[in-house]
Structure 1
Amino acid sequence: MNKVITTDICVIGAGSGGLSVAAGAVQMGADVVLIEKGKMGGDCLNTGCVPSKALLAAGHAAENARTASHFGVSTGPVEVDFGAAMDHVHSVIAGIAPHDSVERFEELGCTVIQAEARFTGPGEVIAGDKTVKAKRFVVATGSRAAVPPIPGLEAVGYFTNETIFENRSSPDHLIIIGGGPIGLEMAQAHQQLGAKVTVIEMMNILPKDDPDLVSVVREQIKASGISLYEQAKTKEILEVADRIRVVIEHDGIEITLEGSHLLLATGRKPNVENLGLSNAGIEYDQRGISVDARLRSSNRKVFAIGDVTGGLQFTHMAGYDAGIVIRNALFRLPAKIDHSAVPWVTYTHPELAQVGMTETDARQKFGDDIRVVTWDYAENDRARAEADTTGFIKVVTTRRGRILGAGIVGRQAGELIGVWALAISQKMKIGAIAGMIAPYPTLGELSKRVAGAWYTPSLFSAKTRKIVRFLLNLG
């Protein structure tokens, strides 16, 4: 017979969101059972955010060495050891893994069960040889790579983000299907590490971002030598003599591409299968578990967070969701999610970061009753000193100056977007940014300068000049 465990909180899934709930709840005095069938740390640590940024860092290092002569530094021919680059990736994972490990969470006081969990009723799950009964459950099972129904795909070998980081030899020609953040980041990393790369996207790349910002990334991607096909339909995939052939339709013309390796980066699919959700009265579909603004499922004892809800699929969203659940489940506070200030970043070079509304979003809601201001990296002294002036910052406000959204494309955009996320979350007006003191010379001055540009039309108007002359004439 299964051993029965009774607990306060049972968390299913030890990715970013699940670990945040478990760590927070147990340290606040709750009894916590944490169940994970795979690797602790989930997708983000093992096959997502961490390895992709580590591989990008290796690629950027190679590219920096190639372009060092711009600064008067001679490096000679750049040689890339692809296997060593992957060693770097896995050393980064190994360095972070203890923070997410079974041992750490057992030391915190959690009961960790390494098995597949399945609901058997509205208030219990089975995991291995144990039955867990809990006052509250949190489903945080994440998502996995979606595999599109392309004719011939099932007969060829391909990578997804779950397998690409196990590859230790540089592809001769990597074909990537999907021009979202994952596809573009892996395209640039592999190109900088020496591979020929082709990206195929059925729509336009980075469709959720501001098109003006995306155009800068597009130009840089093409300039680097990556072949990019947008608005292209993938019709068929074949394997011929150990080569991958991808047949696409682009601009009304059928084109056959041939490469050595294939990477699918065509979105994510929530992990809802084999959880017994129907047994617990939890409503779900192929998009994920349905939740309300408090992240409760149709079974009010069961919360769902992160990718499995089909919402914004970012690691920091799972962490944010965890805080909402803790307030609801432990303190019985009616905390609700607010996605008005969620930042996201694509870590290509240049980086592209966004928070709040894009200009298109704002015009759809407010019409022409908005203001848009921009400031170029080329006008920033730090960017000039570092010879990296590609990009700009764009801010959208109401006519009265309340910040609705901001986007940045350029060096360290992901680091710069934080101040705008804070401003939007606190409903600040743009004057707060214009009035701050930014250290010189920093890229952070971009935010202050773009905020100051919002006031330029009024500060240097004919009306202002008349007022100044009047006051000066008073003596």
Structure 2
Amino acid sequence: MTATLRCDLCVIGAGAGGLTLAAGAARMGARVVLIEQGELGGDCLHTGCVPSKALLAAAAAVRTARRAQEWGVLRTPPGAVDWQAVRRHLRRAQAAIAQHDRVERFEALGVRVLRARARFSDPRTIEAGGVRVRARRFVLATGSQPAIPSIAGLERVPFLTNETIFDLPELPRHLLVLGAGPQGCELAQAFARLGSRVTLVEAGAMLGREDPDLVAPVRQALSADGIEIREQARVLAAEPGPVLVVAGRTGEVARIAGSHLLVATGRRPTVDGLALERAGIAFDATGIRVDSTLRTTNPRVFAVGDVTGGPPFTHAAAWQAGIVLRRVLLRMPVQATTRAMPRVTYTDPELAWVGKDRRDLEAEGGTVQVLDLPFAQVDRAWCEGRSEGLLRLLLGRGRRVLAVGIVGPQAGELLLPWCLLLARRLPLAAMATAIAPYPTLSLVSTRAAQAAFEPLIASPWVRRLVRLLHPWG
């Protein structure tokens, strides 16, 4: 006989969104069931953000060692790499963070954790591991998985994805990276710095969503790391080896051979096996359909994170979880707007953005003023030997901040005050009058904001006002 659990909230998926929901709801006094067939922590902890950023940190250390002579530090040989030690570094980082995602921690909060595959049996019931769960509300937080492109012959070629590349026993001799989005660029640079030969293949433009002016320093850095970048290169076929057969800009066909192939061509929502049709939940290849409150076409069911086809970021899933908590448990009329949703590509230099894309703003037909402040105008950048960065402001009428882009060292860290400015609709003057400690890279933000007011300060009417007031000293 199948046991039946009744609860206030049933969460399917234990990634960033699901864990935030389960812990938050339990602390607020709700009866919570959390269902996860794999390990708690999701893609971010096990095969995504955490291992990739730990790998990038190791790669950055190699670059620093190899540049040490520029600062008068002598070491021979510079930047030798022990791949097994790098792998241990990745595992240590994962193990430390995994302590926050242990089953015991959630059970101590009062969450009932079911380690099983979930499947809807009707619009308000889920079955998992021989248990039937009936809840007042459900939240789908099942995330996403690598999207594998349809390429002739690829099914006969062993290839890597983000789910398998961190388990390689040896450093690749020549890594072919298919896809020059954020993930492809990050891993290409990391392996190049660790000693692999890397070829990056992209059907369109590298980091095609981003502002081309901000992408340029990233492209230059990847090239300087020895990466062969092939843009506008359409893959016609894949062959064992591995070998990619590609057509270039002018139609010329080339064969690119390597020792390993990494497929980094995007993500697709994980909905397989959920039997969403039984619950009346609409979905397509891009994800589960949700409204502005993250409610699905079944009024009892919400969805957060990658499975919705929205911003594919861990921080987006966690933020959406907070929206659902307030909506479901506190009945607050909140909506999931993405006006201030940041994104960061963790190459070196990093590329960060918050606000609408420049193309979208220009397509809307409004006035868009572009203001750039180079990192070279900030003293700390010269002290660090990293003056190649740029902060770009996109301003509307009345100097209203529409978007901010940063390319440079620690761009992701520098983006936070701009996220706050956009989220709270603060005026640019709030940034311009803030006191940033000297000498820090954060001065790039305050000085960019101040630069927007320079035409006003030097205007004829301000000069006349000063002359008028000066005699009254």
Shift of 1:366: 4.0
Equivalent position to 2:382, from 373, 384, 394: 384
The answer to which of 352-361 and 194-203 deviates more is 352-361
Comparing 332-341 and 26-35, the one that deviates more? 332-341
CA distance in 1, matches of 2:456, 2:218: 33
Contact 1:371 1:396 in 2 (8 A): yes
Tell me if the contact between 1:33 and 1:111 (Cα under 8 Å) persists in the aligned partners: yes
Q: Which residue does the alignment assign to 1:371?
A: 369
Counterpart Cα distance in 2 of 1:385 and 1:121: 63
Tell me what 1:221 maps to.
222
Q: Distance in 2 between matches of 1:198 and 1:466?
A: 60
Say whether 1:28 aligns with 2:28: yes
| Aligned counterpart, 1:9 | 9
What is the Cα deviation at residue 253 of structure 1? Answer: 1.1
Tell me the equivalent position of 1:19. 19
Structure 1 gap segments, 5+ residues each: none
Distance in 2, matches of 1:68 and 1:358, equals 38
Instruction: Return the TM-score normalized by structure 1.
Output: 0.97
Equivalent in the alignment of 1:314: 313
Paired AA for residue 178 in structure 2: I
SS at match of 2:398: coil
Given that 1:358 and 1:396 are in contact with CA atoms closer than 8 Å, whether structure 2 keeps it comes out as no
Q: Where does the alignment leave 5 or more consecutive residues of structure 2 unmatched?
A: none
Alignment of 1:282-301 (within 5 A): 282-301=281-300
Counterpart position of 1:275: 274
Aligned match of 1:452: 450
Aligned partner of residue 399 in structure 2, secondary structure: coil
Aligned ranges 1:322-471 → 2 under 5 Å: 322-367=321-366, 369-471=367-469
Q: Deviations over 1:197-230 (max 9, x none)?
A: 0111111111222121111111111122101011
Alpha-carbon distance in 2 for matches of 1:9, 1:467: 63
SS for the counterpart of 1:400 is helix
Give the deviation of 1:25 after TM superposition. 0.2
Q: TM-score, normalised by structure 2?
A: 0.98
Q: Deviations over 1:255-301 (max 9, x none)?
A: 11110000000000100111011111111111111011111111100
1:45 aligns with 2:21: no
Partner of 2:99: 98
Q: What's the secondary structure of 2:242's corresponding residue?
A: strand
The amino acid of 1:200's aligned partner reads V
Task: Give deviations 1:337-369, integer Å, cap 9, x for gaps.
Answer: 1100000100100000000023333222243x2
In the alignment, structure 1 residue 206 sits paired with structure 2 residue 207: yes
Q: How far is the alpha carbon of 1:474 from its aligned partner?
A: 4.9
Partners of 2:91 and 2:60 in 1: how far apart? 17
Determine helix, strand or coil for the equivalent of 2:229.
strand
1:370 CA displacement = 2.5
The residue number in structure 2 matching 1:70 is: 70
- The separation in 2 between residues aligned to 1:366 and 1:470, in whole angstroms, is 40
For 1:126 and 1:391, locate their aligned partners in 2 and report how far apart those are by CA, in whole Å. Answer: 52
Question: Which 10-residue stretch deviates more, 77-86 or 39-48?
Answer: 77-86
Q: Partner of 1:262: helix, strand, or coil?
A: strand
- Alignment correspondent of 1:116: 117
User: How many Å separate the matches in 2 of 1:393 and 1:275?
Assistant: 44
Distance in 1 (CA, whole Å) between partners of 2:385 and 2:289 is 48
Deviations 1:114-161 (Å, cap 9, x if unpaired)?
A: 000000001111101111111100000000000001111100111000
What is the root-mean-square deviation in Å for CA atoms of aligned residues?
1.1
Which secondary structure does the structure 2 equivalent of 1:87 belong to? Answer: helix
For these two proteins, the number of residue pairs brought into alignment is 471
